[in-house]
Amino acid sequence: MILASIPSPNPAQSQWTLGPFTIHAYALCILTGVVVCLWLSERRWIARGGRPGTIYDVAVWAIPFGLVGARLYHVITSWNLYFGEGRRPIEALYIWNGGLGIWGSIALGGVGAYIGCRRAGADFRAFADVVAPGILLAQAIGRWGNWFNQELYGGPTTLPWGLQIDPAYRPEGSEQFATFQPTFLYESLWSLAAVGVLLWVDRRYKPGHGRLFALYVMLYCAGRGWIEALRVDEAFQIGPFRLNVWTAILLFLAALAYYRWSLTTHPGREDVIQVWEDDEVGVKSTEDQTDDDPTPADASQPDGPSPRLPSDDDR
């Protein structure tokens, strides 16, 4: 007997029209996650000694790359949903209907972040460590978009927290069941717990050179593996596991190998995470001085303190 359950919103009522624009709840969840990620990452970057605004500068490159990568991964691994007889290929562009693969987002988003870091003079591995908790927090928030779309749930269940799914959205062969495993909720809660672990590890042990990001990958993959095994949506199957389970296993092992290698070859944490230009911190170099300057570069300055680079407290 079902003692309780989690209701699902009707996807038809999870969108709002404002003039010529249609706002989808799924997109709002993704956007909220991005905003929260940027806010948290900016605070962490400045605390590490980085220049204010760098996170947003890099995001201009990382977010578009990540969005394209997320959609590409989904379309490539679920091509049968968009191509073939009776399918509409144009729907491959309808991201508001769901279908973003986190693996593609991290991969191609990382390329965009690398470009942004090079342009900003920022250390890419330090940047990855800084944004890791924010990315995971964004994933936790974004997963609620699947709730609005009634998608990516698990098998039938009579657990008190079973998720109500409308008949039109139930998988073939399970039409007689009313509630299913809320895998979106499992992943959201797992991600939130992992965010707490990352923040604690960062404060307690101060890992550097990309190791916190590697830990993020390991934590997420450990949860995604067992959660993915509960899902019943259509997916490629390779042997006993779904494709995403294999991906989680391989990425976990790769992140673990990198963590051990980095700990051996680059112990400790970076001293400098970003190259600051003199004009960006308000310090005039000797070459910048002209004959009009009242005080030469090597003269004493009795009327005030000597110019200095800002300390961590100043930033």
- Lowest-pLDDT range of 69-73, 197-201, 238-242, 305-309: 305-309
Residue 313 reports pLDDT greater than 70: no
Q: pLDDT band for position 64 (50/70/90)?
A: very high
Tokens of 47: 């605390």
**Cα–Cα dist 191/7, whole Å:** 22
Residue pair 112/62 in contact by the 8 Å Cβ criterion = yes
User: Measured in Å, how far apart are the chain's first and last C-alpha atoms?
Assistant: 58
Tokens of 138: 């964004």
> Whole-model pTM?
0.82
For residue 35, the tally of other CB atoms under 10 A from its CB is 12
Residue 114, Ramachandran bin (φ over 0: left; ψ between -120 and 50: alpha; else beta)? alpha
Averaged over 65-84, what is the pLDDT?
81
Half-sphere exposure of 46 (CA within 13 A, CB side): 11
**pLDDT over 90 percentage in the chain:** 58
The predicted-structure confidence for 272-297, as pLDDT tens digits, reads as follows 899 876 544 433 333 344 444 444 44
**Cα–Cα dist 95/75, whole Å:** 10
Averaged over 231-237, what is the pLDDT?
82
Compute and round to an integer the Cα radius of gyration of the chain.
24
The predicted-structure confidence for 140-167, as pLDDT tens digits, reads as follows 999 999 999 898 899 999 999 999 999 9
